Amino acid sequence: MEALLKLGLASQGRVPPSKGYVWRNLSLDVGHVLTYFVAHEAHHRGQIVMVARQAGQRLPRPATDGLWQWKMDL
């Protein structure tokens, strides 16, 4: 993610399209790319909680809370 954002910022605020970008439905300005990936990550974290509940195994509160603890080690 860091490299992708650096690339976009170095390219006048837009991530250059690549062959791997197949859907072409996301604006490639850095703001849209960043918010898309944050929302997408949150979606997957929510799926983890939902699947555990559907399996009858509710996650303990510390585990659920821990899913949302983003920490960047520098």
Q: Which domain holds residue 15?
A: 2-66
Provide the pLDDT for residue 1. Answer: 84
Under the banding of pLDDT at 50, 70 and 90, the label for residue 7 is very high
For residue 44, tell me if it sits in a domain. Answer: yes
For residue 71, tell me if it sits in a domain. Answer: no
For residue 17, tell me if it sits in a domain. Answer: yes
For residue 73, tell me if it sits in a domain. Answer: no
For residue 42, tell me if it sits in a domain. Answer: yes
Number of domains the chain is built from: 1
For residue 33, tell me if it sits in a domain. Answer: yes
For residue 52, tell me if it sits in a domain. Answer: yes
pLDDT in tens, 27-69: 889 999 999 988 998 899 999 999 999 999 999 988 888 887 7
Residue from 35, 41, 42, 26 nearest 5 by CA: 35
For residue 74, tell me if it sits in a domain. Answer: no
* DSSP letters spanning 9-59: HHTTTBPPP-TT--S--S--BHHHHHHHHHHHHHHHHHHHHHHHHHTT-PP
